[in-house]
Amino acid sequence: MIILIECLVSIVLFTLIIVPSVMKNPLDHICDYPKPIMEKCYELGLAERREKRFSKKDIVRKFLVCIVFAFLFSLVLYKVNGVTTFLGGALSAYVIWLSVTWYDALIIDCIWFCHSKKVQIPGTENMKEYKDYWYHIRQSLIGTLLGIPVALLVGLIIFMF
- pLDDT, tens digit (0-9, with 9 covering 90-100), for 43-85: 999 988 877 777 788 789 889 989 999 999 999 999 999 999 9
Name the amino acid, one letter, at 31.
Answer: C
Q: What is the total residue count of the chain?
A: 161
Tell whether the torsion through CA atoms of 101, 102, 105 and 111 is positive or negative: negative
Tell whether the torsion through CA atoms of 135, 29, 154 and 8 is positive or negative: negative
Q: How high is the pLDDT of residue 33?
A: 93
Q: How high is the pLDDT of residue 48?
A: 86
Q: How high is the pLDDT of residue 103?
A: 98
3-state helix vs strand vs coil in the chain, percent to 5: 80, 0, 20
Q: Which residues are CB-neighbours of 58 under 8 A, at least 6 positions away? A: 31
The span from the first CA to the last CA of the chain, in angstroms, equals: 24
Please say whether the beta carbons of 161 and 83 come within 8 A: no
Confidence band, pLDDT 50/70/90 cuts, at residue 14: very high
| 150 pLDDT higher than 90 | yes
* DSSP letter string, 80-142: TS---SHHHHHHHHHHHHHHHHHHIIIIIIIIIITT-GGGPPTT-TT-GGGG-HHHHHHHHHH
Best CA proximity match to 93, nearest among 66, 111, 118: 66
Please say whether the beta carbons of 109 and 139 come within 8 A: yes
